[in-house]
Structures are given as structure tokens and as C-alpha cells.
């Protein structure tokens, strides 16, 4: 049984369609990250699931029960807001106890349940503090405790790490993931931070202009984006336009301005004229181009795709070097390689990659409302 189901969910604000015909099912215990640029409709979707925003059309089911018309307190969804929304005049204990009191849980049970959840989020001993007396991370965990204390069916997180510094944010990713798995609670996690989405989620739902572009496991989203927009939004993309001229032996051959490239594709066939070939920067290997025009064959060079170019820029990132290499009058690619050997600006280089590393997708930029 799906634990969250959204059916044709639609919401407009005046002429703006913020969420457009969204269909989605989350399995029990699954964590799905909603990822997309600012204004793509992530928060509006989350607020509709929580009951803070009313859908214009469509239906919402939580734990198999339709909740579309119900107010937030009758939906059984724990929510953590971006700014935590803790009551500043209540202690940590009182903040966490609040939802239980609203649900008329007996006083003696409340004490025990709050103590248990505070222990789970490592806040034992801080129950008497007020939110302004807590660090950002402690406030965050108080908000998590408040959302989880009444064992909700689903957990809804709206950019829960946005207010923390970079190091704490990274630690909290793993913390939230392990807490979520310990509770086995179905979770929607809204973020515009792709690293966060890729690290945390079982599946990532990529949204643009209110429209779901793709929902898949993180590796699929990165390696096999459904369209050029998703490829470009998640990670660094090298998108080389072309036309499929042959797809007879499983490998597709694409005619491009930098020559014929061989790659693999999902739904693309030779009948789809306009495509782009996406090669991720870490998939491109750099080689010295010899004066004879041949390659330095000191490394094993995958045979399928070979290009030549000139290094236009190099940035040193510590664990790797980030190059911009011009491979044609209109085509510059990013290459991320080990920092040694060093290729300098102006060097003529050869680039190689396998057909498996070249993912062919539809050229159109993805669906927008
Ligand atoms: P962010 O990452 O910036 O929070 P988001 O993807 O969560 O963005 P939403 O907050 O869902 O985006 O907003 C989607 C669109 O709807 C935006 O264009 C936003 O301006 C608009 N919008 C959201 N709430 C309202 C509202 N109450 N009234 C009018 N427009 C709204």
C-alpha cells in the first residue's frame, strides 16, 4: 500500500499554476526529496499534503485514507518548517508536548513520551531551556522531536537544514536519514540543494514550473536524466546537440558538430531527430595530443569516443582539477580529472569516453507549465 498518494494535484495562485497535475505515490517508509529551483512548487505541494494549502483539483491520500478536505490537525502528518516555528515562550519540553496536549493524551503519558523522544534526538537534559537558548542544531532537533512525538503516519520536512552552517548541515543529513529509518516513517523532504537530495533520498522528484519532470533513484536521476533540463539542473552537464543517424546495434550513433559520437539511450530512436548527448565531467578522460595528431596512449583509452580540443581554463579544487576545454567553435566542455598530470591553458588535448558514459536524451528542455 502506498503511504502517500497524490492524484492530479493542482494549485494556482491567480494566473500562476504553482503545481500542475501532480501524480505521485510514496511507499511505506520511503523518503522522497522534492528538488527544484526556487518557485517550482515544492513548498506548495508540501503545504497541500500538510493541509495548510487547499488544492484546486485532485486528491491526497495519507496511509490509504483520503485527507483532501481535512484540516492539518486531522491529517496525522508531522511537519518541520524551514524556520522551525518553535514557540519561543515555551520550553523545549512544552514545545514537544504541545501536539500531545492538543490530542488530549493523558498527562502521565505525555511526560514519558516527551522524555523518550528527547532522548532519541539527543536533547535529554535540555527540556527546561527556551528555544532562544539553543543552538541552531538543537532547535532543529527540537522541531524534529515535536513532529515525531505523536507517531504521525508521514513526516513532512521543508528545507529543514537551510538555516544551519555547512558543516552541521552535512552531519544533520546523515542524522535525519538514520532517524527516519529508525522510525520507518514515510517522508517528504523539500530542498533546492541537490547534494542533500541525492544523499538522503530513496527517490528524488525533480520539479520545474509546477510540473514533475522525473522521479527516480538518485543514481538514475544523475546518470539517466529524462530530459536536458534535468541533466543540466542535477550536477554539471556537457550537452552536445546532434541527430541520431544509426541505432541498429544497441549503441546509438549521433551526428554532432564535433563529429560522430556513440552513446546509449532510453526511449530515443533514429526517428527522434533532435537529441543531446550528455557526458558528465568526471566521465571525460584527458590525454596528451601528440604533434603527429595521434594520442599519447600511455593510458588505456576507451575506443568508442575520441575528441580533441584546447584547454581554455583550469581551476584547482584540491582533490581534482576542473577544466574548460574547447572541442569545437561552439562547444566547450567541463572536465573534472585528477589534479595530476597537469594540463595547462593552451594545451592541445585529446578527450575520450565510452559509449556507456554518453547518455542520449531529448533535446527539448523539459515540460513547463
Ligand atoms: P522555494 O524553494 O523558493 O521555497 P518552491 O519551489 O517551494 O520555492 P513555492 O513556494 O511552492 O516554490 O511557490 C511556487 C510558486 O507559487 C511561486 O511562483 C510562488 O511565488 C507562488 N506562490 C506561493 N505561495 C503563494 C501565495 N500564497 N500567493 C501567491 N503566490 C504564491
Nearest atom of ligand 1 to the alpha carbon of 82 = 4
- Domain 2-228 homologous superfamily, CATH: P-loop containing nucleotide triphosphate hydrolases (3.40.50.300)
Task: Verify whether ligand 1 is closer than 6 Å to residue 41 (CB atom).
Answer: yes
From the CB of residue 356, how many other CB atoms can be counted at a distance below 10 Å? 14
Confidence band for 81, pLDDT divided at 50, 70 and 90: confident
Q: Which of 12, 13, 196 to mutate to test the pocket of ligand 1 (most atoms within 8 A of CB)?
A: 13
pTM for this prediction = 0.89
Q: Do domains 2-228 and 237-362 have the same CATH topology?
A: no
Residue 127 and residue 55: Cα distance in Å, rounded? 38
Domain ranges of the chain: 2-228, 237-362
pLDDT reading at 27 higher than 90: yes
Task: Verify whether ligand 1 is closer than 6 Å to residue 20 (CB atom).
Answer: no
Topology adopted by domain 237-362 = OB fold (Dihydrolipoamide Acetyltransferase, E2P) (2.40.50)
Please confirm whether the linkage preceding 341 is cis (ω < 30° from 0).
yes
Averaged pLDDT score across all residues of the chain: 90
Residue 118 and residue 8: Cα distance in Å, rounded? 38
Contact 232, 244 (CB under 8 A): no
Q: Which of 12, 39, 40, 192 to mutate to test the pocket of ligand 1 (most atoms within 8 A of CB)?
A: 39
pLDDT reading at 179 higher than 50: yes
State pLDDT tens for residues 84-115: 889 999 999 999 999 888 888 888 899 999 99
State pLDDT tens for residues 148-168: 998 899 999 999 888 778 888
Task: Verify whether ligand 1 is closer than 6 Å to residue 63 (CB atom).
Answer: no
Query: What confidence score (pLDDT) does residue 257 get?
Result: 95
313, β-bridge pairs: 324
Task: Verify whether ligand 1 is closer than 6 Å to residue 83 (CB atom).
Answer: no
Break the chain down into helix, strand, coil percent, rounded to 5: 25, 35, 40
Contact 174, 182 (CB under 8 A): no
Amino acid at each position: 500500500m502506498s503511504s502517500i498518494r497524490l492524484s492530479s494535484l493542482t494549485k494556482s495562485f491567480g494566473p500562476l499554476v504553482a503545481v500542475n497535475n501532480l501524480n505521485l505515490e510514496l511507499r511505506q517508509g520511503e523518503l522522497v526529496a522534492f528538488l527544484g529551483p526556487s518557485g517550482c512548487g515544492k513548498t506548495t505541494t508540501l503545504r497541500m499534503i500538510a493541509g495548510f494549502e487547499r488544492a484546486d483539483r485532485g486528491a491526497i491520500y495519507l496511509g490509504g485514507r483520503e485527507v483532501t478536505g481535512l484540516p492539518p490537525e486531522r491529517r496525522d502528518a508531522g511537519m518541520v518548517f524551514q524556520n522551525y516555528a518553535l514557540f519561543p515562550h515555551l520550553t523545549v519540553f512544552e514545545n514537544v508536548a504541545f501536539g500531545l496536549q492538543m490530542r488530549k493524551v493523558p498527562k502521565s503519558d505525555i511526560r514519558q513520551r516527551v522524555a523518550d523522544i528527547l532522548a532519541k534526538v539527543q536533547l535529554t537534559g535540555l527540556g527546561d531551556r527556551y528555544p532562544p537558548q539553543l543552538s541552531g542544531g538543537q532547535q532543529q532537533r527540537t522541531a524534529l522531536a515535536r513532529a515525531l512525538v505523536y507517531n504521525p503516519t508521514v513526516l513532512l520536512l521543508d528545507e529543514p537544514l537551510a538555516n544551519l552552517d555547512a558543516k552541521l548541515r552535512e552531519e544533520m543529513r546523515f542524522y535525519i536519514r538514520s532517524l527516519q529509518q529508525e522510525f520507518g516513517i514515510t517522508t517528504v523532504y523539500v530542498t533546492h540543494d541537490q547534494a542533500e537530495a541525492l544523499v538522503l533520498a530513496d527517490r528524488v522528484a525533480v520539479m520545474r514550473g509546477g510540473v514533475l519532470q522525473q522521479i527516480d533513484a538518485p543514481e538514475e536521476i544523475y546518470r539517466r536524466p529524462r530530459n536536458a533540463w534535468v541533466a543540466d539542473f542535477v550536477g554539471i552537464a556537457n550537452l552536445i546537440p546532434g541527430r541520431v543517424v544509426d541505432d541498429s546495434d544497441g549503441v546509438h550513433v549521433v551526428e554532432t558538430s564535433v563529429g560522430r559520437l556513440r552513446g546509449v539511450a532510453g526511449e530515443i530512436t533514429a526517428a527522434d531527430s533532435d537529441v543531446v548527448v550528455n557526458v558528465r565531467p568526471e566521465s571525460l578522460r584527458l590525454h596528451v595530443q601528440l604533434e603527429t595528431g595521434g594520442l599519447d596512449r600511455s593510458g588505456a583509452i576507451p575506443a568508442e569516443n575520441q575528441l580533441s580540443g584546447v584547454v581554455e581554463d583550469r581551476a584547482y579544487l584540491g582533490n581534482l582539477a576542473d577544466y574548460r576545454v574547447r572541442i569545437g567553435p561552439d562547444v566547450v566542455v567541463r572536465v573534472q580529472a585528477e589534479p595530476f598530470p597537469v594540463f595547462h591553458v593552451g594545451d592541445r588535448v585529446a578527450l575520450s569516453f565510452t559509449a556507456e558514459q554518453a547518455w542520449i536524451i531529448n533535446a527539448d528542455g523539459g515540460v513547463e507549465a
